[in-house]
Structure 1
């Protein structure tokens, strides 16, 4: 683990999370036909990002340099980064047409398998549970809106 890189990332993500929270307050408080306004979800995401960034800042205090303990720097994982980046681009592109549940499920399975191969059924179960759980919680329980199922499923 690289202490300097993690600290820079933590500060950058803290700034992004704070910006999300500040800008979400400028959105309208309610939406027609929805008990949850469009400002709630971005605010909560910004809050989670800010809190995780603060946690990372505190964790970096106890880091020892990887280079000192092993003697060499860890290899950069460009291939994994590129796969997840391309999956994120496809996720953002297909979210409206394919729907939240399917695109989130596929993105999570690709992400899990990219980070650590194997345990495909475990990745599928977690991705399905998360995408269906968030959709059910947010749309059905809180009566918010997310991109629905594709037209061919309705």
Structure 2
């Protein structure tokens, strides 16, 4: 992607991560005295999002500085139509993921979202995309629902 897009997206994700953390701290603790409460997962996601956005901003800044020193030219800031198409596909899939999560269930929705995401980013390797998507969606559902005792939308009942 372009460095301008990377900088803007890192700042956007940083703000979203801050919002996740602040809203997660306002969720009440578990009433049962469990260490894993309802705010643990959103708080962890917010912290990870903040750290990854800071890393993206640093790497983009470092790459821009390196290119300016080595080539003594401006850094490219044009995004290609293919990159824009991939971004729009992933953005629409993320919106559809949120919409269908409760209706279809976590495992199926996450599997489809990951499969489309993997195939959008890199065509081919269909078998590995399917196996990773299945392993991730079933594994996270098992860990969060069975081991940690949380609740995720299960399979559809229709």
TM-score (norm 2): 0.83
User: For residues 30 and 44 of structure 1, what CA distance do their matches in structure 2 show?
Assistant: 16
1:52 aligned partner:
52
Q: Please provide the CA RMSD for this pair.
A: 2.6
- For residue 29 of structure 1, give the secondary structure of its aligned residue in structure 2: coil
Return the match for 2:80 from 75, 86, 93.
75
TM-score (norm 1): 0.84
Q: CA deviation at 1:56?
A: 1.3
- For residue 36 of structure 2, give the secondary structure of its aligned residue in structure 1: coil
1:128 aligned partner:
134
User: For residues 81 and 71 of structure 1, what CA distance do their matches in structure 2 show?
Assistant: 18
User: For residues 156 and 77 of structure 2, what CA distance do their matches in structure 1 show?
Assistant: 49
User: For residues 19 and 11 of structure 2, what CA distance do their matches in structure 1 show?
Assistant: 12
- For residue 16 of structure 1, give the secondary structure of its aligned residue in structure 2: helix
Structure 1 alignment gaps of length 5 or more: none
User: For residues 43 and 157 of structure 2, what CA distance do their matches in structure 1 show?
Assistant: 30
1:88 aligned partner:
94
Deviation string for 1:34-66 (max 9, x for gaps)? 873221111111111001011112212321459
Deviation string for 1:67-100 (max 9, x for gaps)? 9599894513232222222222221111111110
